[in-house]
Chain A
Amino acid sequence: MSKIGLIIARELKSKIYNKTFIVMTILAPLLITGFIGFIIKMSQSEKTEQNVLVIDESKLFTDKLSGNDYISLTFSNLKLNEAIGSFYEKGYSCLLWISPTIIEGGAGATKLFYKKSPGFGFQTFMKDQMERIIYENKLRANNIDPNIILNSKQNVRIILEKVNDVGKTEEQGSFGFIGFISGALMFIFIMMYGMMVFRSVMEEKTNRIVEVIVSSVKPFELMLGKIVGVALLGIIQFVIMGVITLALTTLLSALFLKDVSSQLQVFEQQQELVKKQGTNVDLSKLEKFDDKLEVFELLKSIRKINFTEVFICFFLYFLGGYLFYSAIMAAIGSAVDSESDSQQFITPVMIPLMIGYFISTKTILDPDSTTVFWGSMIPFTSPIVMMSRITSGVPLWELLISLSLLFVSFIVMTWLAGRIYRTGILMYGKKTSWKEIGKWLFYK
């Protein structure tokens, strides 16, 4: 037993002091959160103050077009040519010119002059308003009250409620994204650490040190020590990456999502109030969050995810899936002499993982389909597929069966791998085939 400890320690030490490992562990979460932060930042419209001079030659928009917190509009009757030369000096950031023929349509009906680009958000803001005004105008021209049209439009929101075995309902977050991400992460992690075991086994074989070692310990112990060593390494890396990611996301969300969360709080309080007091509430006194409703939905569905469950499951499935696949990888590593020979063996192992990944993409659309169910039961794909299902609510019995299947298969696979391994590591110079490996299973 103490010898396995020595093997585990060596395996860990040889990898943990590796520069690539250290850089990877620290850099990866920085890159990932940095990337996500960047995307969020990019998707938020830039709130630069805009002081706009509007020359409305159509006279359609005067007093109808309005600004907001950071966009202020000034209407003017100046000639366009004069205004172009002087708007910037007079303190306007841009000049919006609306042609007299705008209602007739056609491109180039309106122009925006600027010195510093006002950005896409601003353009959309102005464009949407103008389109709405023209739309209402045309409706009125045909004697239709725009309010009728407006009131006949109704949004429909589907709320998912799952009825559980005791007949109680619970609202489900339809947030497949987290599931999909954890499925993809699982795929990457299993592959990465599986390859690590594979390389480590092959290194010992090609180094020819393996025979010295197996004269001191049983080949099975060596293999197990290796697998456990890399597993520990994975857990360490996982924890470090997790802590860094958590710290960074907390920091980032404190920076970027602070407004939204406090607004959400107000919104929820208001909803409570309406629920309790009914129509007695003076609706006009309430803050309006119409444009934020989607973000609120997102935040609420994220909050609804049981992260403890997700983390525990991720850990267990990572462990089981890794152990299962790394046993296969160790067997393959023992069978080949060089990396170039290894492809024919690695590809067939990759395929079930890939299938798992594809099934997991299906989960978002249809989490309770038969394919997804079986995919989350069969050990070859279950770590990935189950993770993608996890946020849509998986009954405990399914989890337990899937996990037991995974761990039983891991034990069987390790036993089989051990039989291949002890023969493989001492076979040199022979091109190995699947048939040959099959024979090794039955050597005494």
Chain B
Amino acid sequence: MAEILGIHNVSKRYSSHIALHNISFSVQQGSVFGLLGPNGAGKTSLIRIINQITGPDTGEVLFHGEKLQPKHVERIGYLPEERGLYKKMTVGDQVLYLARLKGLPKYEAKKRLKIWFAKFDMESWWNKKVEELSKGMQQKVQFIVTVIHEPELLILDEPFSGFDPINAQLIKNELLELKKKGSTVIFSTHNMGSVEELCDNIALINKAEKILDGSVKEIRKTYRTNTYKISFKGNPLGFINALWAGGDLLDKHTEDEIHSYTIKLAPKVTSSQFLQAILPTCEVHSFNEIIPSMNDIFIMKVSEVNQETGTQSNYTE
């Protein structure tokens, strides 16, 4: 896969604080990339730099290997966190205006908009003023405006905050469809569920610095703690004995003669070694590795860094 976006040593400071410090990562074409981090970590600053709304103090951003230039805005779609529309303008005039600002000719913009409006079942809104629409309806309009010029790179800042569950799902589906068509998606979010569901790769930013990046699968693998959940029938005593060989019991739970134990194996013990040890004493029903969720990793990493620097996390969700 080719790189669509390369962030190289980007730093940005405002008079009173550092917004980004030496951030680097790379986004592959056709992937969904999650930009994670607590509030105030610098995500929006970085997104604004990618959108050329502001510029970095040092470092550079490459788009298809080329230094970012004004002409690239037509190939990038952006849905900001603080999104709005002109309240007094009609929906049709508005989407047409915004689409043309992205460089689409009028007739082409009109054609595509009609298709999108039909798809979202909102043709009757064309001549309505935005102030007559509900918030959910406005969100659909905003999403269409973001993707109307079929951008290669789609950047969404907190796309799932403020959306109702139906619209959020609709947008998730659209994102996956766009990905299938070859678009690359970058989004920042607090919603770790959506990260696991959608993202191929992530970067975690905290206090202006990148503290983690890589593919979601890899990261979760790296943060494996050799913890398993096993349910079995039989004598728990035999099970406990087998655990002596190298592991700790974290949690236990019994229902209808089926025991569910959560165990953490010692680093040198593999799962098959352990299974071999217990199989003579009990009948195993299920055996699953507990992989930490992105949420766990997020909280763990952020508080780790904050402890090091001796500050409190301002992360709240």
Mark A residues whose CB is within 8 Å of B. 3, 6-7, 10, 13-14, 203-204, 207-219, 422, 426, 428, 439, 443-444
Contact = CB atoms under 8 A, between A and B. Distances in A.
Contact of A212 (B15, B100, B145): B145
A132 to B, nearest CB: 68
Contact of A214 (B53, B57, B102, B145): B53
Contacts of A426: 48, 53-54
Given A215-B76, A444-B57, 8 more contacts: A6-B100, A209-B86, A212-B83, A215-B53, A215-B73, A216-B98, A218-B70, A422-B54
A218 B72 CA distance: 12
A296 B78 CA distance: 69
Contacts of B103: 216
Contacts of B53: 211, 214-215, 219, 426
A3 B101 contact: yes
Contacts of A210: 84
A217 B101 contact: yes
A215 B146 CA distance: 10
29 contacts: A3-B101, A6-B101, A10-B97, A13-B93, A14-B86, A14-B88, A14-B89, A203-B86, A207-B85, A207-B86, A208-B80, A208-B84, A211-B53, A211-B80, A211-B82, A211-B83, A212-B80, A212-B84, A213-B98, A213-B101, A215-B51, A215-B78, A216-B98, A216-B102, A216-B103, A217-B73, A426-B48, A439-B15, A444-B57
B14 interface: yes
Contacts of B70: 218
A438 B51 CA distance: 25
B292 interface: no
Interface size class on chain B is 20 to 34
Contacts of B54: 422, 426
A212 B79 CA distance: 7
B247 interface: no
A397 B129 CA distance: 52
A428 B145 CA distance: 23
A216 B101 contact: yes
A428 B44 CA distance: 13
A219 B145 CA distance: 19
Residue among A7, A203, A216 having the largest count of chain B Cβ atoms under 10 Å: A216
B217 interface: no
A285 to B, nearest CB: 71
Nearest to A436: B15
Nearest to A206: B84
A328 B97 CA distance: 26
B55 interface: yes
B87 interface: yes
Contacts of B87: 207
Contact of A207 (B76, B84, B98, B101): B84
A282 B177 CA distance: 104
Nearest to B87: A207
* 3 nearest A-B residue pairs (beta carbon): A208-B84, A211-B80, A216-B101
Interface string B289-309: 000000000000000000000
Interface in B108-167: 142, 145
Nearest to A440: B15
A13 B145 CA distance: 20
Contacts of A209: 83-86
* Max count, chain B CB within 10 A of own CB: residue among A6, A207, A215, A428: A215
A233 to B, nearest CB: 16
Nearest to A210: B84
A436 B27 CA distance: 36
A428 B142 CA distance: 20
Contacts of B79: 212
Contacts of B84: 207-210, 212
A3 B74 CA distance: 12
A36 to B, nearest CB: 35
B82 A208 contact: yes
Contacts of A13: 93
Contacts of B15: 439, 443
A426 B78 CA distance: 15
Interface in B36-82: 48, 51-55, 57, 70, 73, 76, 78-80, 82
Contacts of A439: 15
Contacts of B86: 14, 203-204, 207, 209
B153 to A, nearest CB: 12
Contacts of A216: 73, 98, 101-103
A213 B84 CA distance: 10
A7 B101 CA distance: 8
Interface in B231-290: none
A243 B185 CA distance: 56
A213 B145 CA distance: 11
B106 to A, nearest CB: 10
A12 B172 CA distance: 38
Given A215-B73, A216-B101, A216-B102, A428 B82 contact: yes
Contacts of B14: 443
B89 to A, nearest CB: 7
A211 B84 CA distance: 9
A7 B98 CA distance: 10
Contacts of B83: 208-209, 211-212
Most buried by B among A210, A217, A443: A443
Contacts of B101: 3, 6-7, 213, 216-217
A404 to B, nearest CB: 32
A333 B16 CA distance: 23
A216 B102 CA distance: 6
B42 to A, nearest CB: 14
A217 B100 CA distance: 11
B93 to A, nearest CB: 8
Nearest to A219: B53
B97 A215 contact: no
Contacts of B88: 14
B109 to A, nearest CB: 11
A203 B55 CA distance: 25
A41 to B, nearest CB: 42
Contacts of A3: 101
Nearest to B81: A211
Contacts of A214: 53
